[in-house]
């Protein structure tokens, strides 16, 4: 039933997309030649309209290639928008490439840019309206996918939690099959229906759309048997692994000559291209920031010199990328102290070692500005997990699971944990959670967002002592 509905919906979506492309193209032509220019330009209207059907077909093909016709029950709007932008960008690039090859230099590039903007806007609006309509219908109990779970485990409970908390996804869980839990046992209203062997009896009666295998880790020796049983049903089957505590964040798979390999952790910045883009942003950003904040740094240098004896810059050993240590720079905000004490002692509230001007620098994060030179040297990044001292790294790696993963990327001057309030005297565990999220979900857009948030709410540190 759902499969048939999806086919019809996809066909309708293609028609809607074709209509949006046509409307966007015609609107772009009208804006360019009837509103802006008031003439048809060097080419006739017929020439422009002749390109329209070819454009529509090519764009629909690009939408298919960029996964815009896959089911979107649990897909986010931002991912769909990003796919729309990518498809349209490739489409315009192809259009310009063809114009160059056939030497049609008079075809209006301005009109194409207007089409690009209008088409992305209308396509996004149309799909969001459809998404809103479908989710509204699913909340009311229409267009549901009926599922049975095979195996009672933590994964089963977590899956049920997410399904029940998001009725707009349109999933209806019929029950659970398990060989070790008594029939009639309930979790949030979802009952254990019986043994796994009952699947072949339940299937014809329930008209299921999906089977979700949610076996516990201790039952993975039966996985091949269960998969075989599920596939005999002909119903779409998916596997929800019960390894959340072993691999707590998203893994990714690769194919080695037909052998699937699961990589436990996905780190986008291991990609050379992404790493190069981030490094380029670091260099340009650090140079601009040094120029912008040079008056603040000059003022700080003068005040440090006037208020306390000792060096202007405080250098401290920190652990960075791939566990390599480096000397991190800060404006000195404390009285000069013995190195052995400084290495192993936190700064506490009303710490007598902090100078009067040092308190101001710490509260406003001015003391961190010399780290821009660490960024230029390649020891740090503008954005990343904050680096820690070797003594505390050795301590935390034994106490906090996955702590050392933060060293798979360059440490940062600011980070996702910091802009979410985890700075100074706050939970190390929560900081690591935010650091791991950043490491596994890095995008250039996320870096820009963090820098933006740092400017507006990250400089003042209420937890700095």
Task: Judge if 232 and 330 occupy the same domain.
Answer: no
Of the residues 139, 161, 195, the one at which a domain ends = 139
Task: Judge if 59 and 126 occupy the same domain.
Answer: yes
By C-alpha distance, which of 148, 149, 152, 150 is closest to 216?
A: 152
Range of the structural domain that residue 58 is part of: 2-139
Given this model, what pLDDT does residue 463 score? 55
Contacts for 207 with CB less than 8 Å, ≥ 6 apart? 1, 146
Task: Judge if 162 and 63 occupy the same domain.
Answer: no
In a domain, 251, yes or no: no
Task: Judge if 281 and 187 occupy the same domain.
Answer: no
In a domain, 200, yes or no: yes
CB-based contact 176:156 (threshold 8 Å): yes
pLDDT above 70 coverage of the chain, percent: 88
Of the residues 139, 164, 180, the one at which a domain ends = 139
Number of neighbours of residue 42 by Cβ within 10 angstroms: 11
Given this model, what pLDDT does residue 382 score? 95
By C-alpha distance, which of 382, 389, 398, 385 is closest to 436?
A: 385
In a domain, 253, yes or no: no
Task: Judge if 305 and 425 occupy the same domain.
Answer: yes
Task: Judge if 134 and 40 occupy the same domain.
Answer: yes
If you search the block for the tokens 């804006």, which residue do you land on? 31
Task: Judge if 211 and 297 occupy the same domain.
Answer: no
Q: pTM for the whole thing?
A: 0.60
In a domain, 267, yes or no: no
Domain count for the chain: 3
In a domain, 27, yes or no: yes
In a domain, 235, yes or no: yes
In a domain, 260, yes or no: no
CB-based contact 373:313 (threshold 8 Å): no
Task: Judge if 313 and 451 occupy the same domain.
Answer: yes
List pLDDT tens digits, range 16-71: 999 999 999 999 999 988 888 766 567 788 888 999 999 999 999 999 888 888 76
Given this model, what pLDDT does residue 345 score? 59
List pLDDT tens digits, range 146-205: 899 999 998 899 899 988 888 877 888 989 999 889 989 999 999 999 898 888 787 766
Task: Judge if 453 and 433 occupy the same domain.
Answer: yes
In a domain, 465, yes or no: no
Burial of 31 (C-beta count, 10 Å sphere; 0-12/13-18/19+): middle
Task: Judge if 449 and 425 occupy the same domain.
Answer: yes
Task: Judge if 332 and 443 occupy the same domain.
Answer: yes
Task: Judge if 228 and 98 occupy the same domain.
Answer: no
Number of neighbours of residue 411 by Cβ within 10 angstroms: 25
């Amino acid at each position: 039933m759902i499969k048939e509905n999806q086919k019809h919906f996809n066909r309708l979506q293609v028609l809607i997309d074709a209509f949006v492309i046509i409307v966007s193209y015609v609107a772009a032509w009208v804006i360019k030649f009837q509103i802006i220019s008031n003439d048809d330009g060097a080419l006739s209207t017929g020439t422009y309209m002749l390109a329209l059907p070819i454009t529509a077909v090519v764009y629909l093909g690009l939408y298919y290639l960029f996964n815009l016709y896959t089911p979107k029950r649990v897909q986010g709007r931002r991912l769909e928008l990003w796919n729309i932008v990518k498809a349209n960008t490739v489409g315009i690039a192809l259009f310009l490439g063809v114009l160059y090859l056939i030497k049609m230099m008079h075809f209006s590039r301005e009109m194409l840019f207007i089409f690009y903007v209008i088409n992305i806007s209308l396509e996004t609006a149309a799909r969001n309206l459809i998404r809103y309509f479908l989710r509204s219908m699913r909340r009311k109990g229409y267009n549901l996918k009926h599922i049975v779970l095979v195996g009672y485990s933590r994964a089963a409970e977590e899956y049920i939690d997410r399904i029940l908390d998001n009725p707009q996804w349109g999933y209806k869980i019929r029950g659970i099959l398990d060989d070790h839990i008594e029939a009639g046992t309930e979790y949030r209203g979802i009952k254990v229906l019986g043994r796994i062997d009952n699947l072949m009896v339940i299937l014809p009666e329930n008209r299921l759309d999906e089977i979700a295998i949610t076996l516990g880790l201790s039952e993975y020796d039966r996985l091949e048997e269960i998969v075989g049983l599920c596939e005999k049903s002909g119903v779409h089957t998916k596997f929800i692994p019960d390894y959340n505590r072993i691999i707590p964040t998203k893994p990714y798979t690769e194919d080695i000559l037909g052998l699937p390999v699961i990589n436990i952790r996905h780190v986008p910045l291991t990609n050379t291209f992404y790493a190069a883009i981030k490094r380029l942003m670091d260099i340009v950003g650090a140079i601009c920031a040094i120029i912008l904040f040079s008056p603040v740094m000059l003022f700080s240098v003068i005040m440090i010199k006037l208020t306390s004896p000792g060096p202007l810059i405080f250098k401290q050993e920190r652990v960075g990328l791939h566990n390599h240590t480096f000397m991190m720079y800060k404006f000195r905000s404390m009285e000069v102290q013995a190195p052995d004490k400084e290495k192993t002692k936190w700064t506490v509230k009303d710490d007598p070692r902090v100078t009067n001007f040092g308190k101001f620098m710490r509260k406003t994060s001015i003391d961190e500005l010399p780290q821009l030179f660490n960024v230029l040297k390649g020891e740090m990044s503008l954005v990343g997990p904050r680096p820690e001292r070797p003594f505390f790294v050795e301590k935390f790696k034994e106490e906090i699971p996955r702590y050392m993963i933060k060293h798979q990327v360059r440490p940062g001057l600011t980070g996702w944990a910091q802009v979410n309030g985890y700075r100074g005297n706050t939970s190390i565990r929560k900081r690591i959670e935010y650091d791991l999220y950043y490491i596994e979900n890095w995008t250039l857009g996320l870096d820009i967002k963090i820098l933006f948030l740092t400017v507006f709410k990250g400089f003042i540190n209420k937890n700095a002592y």
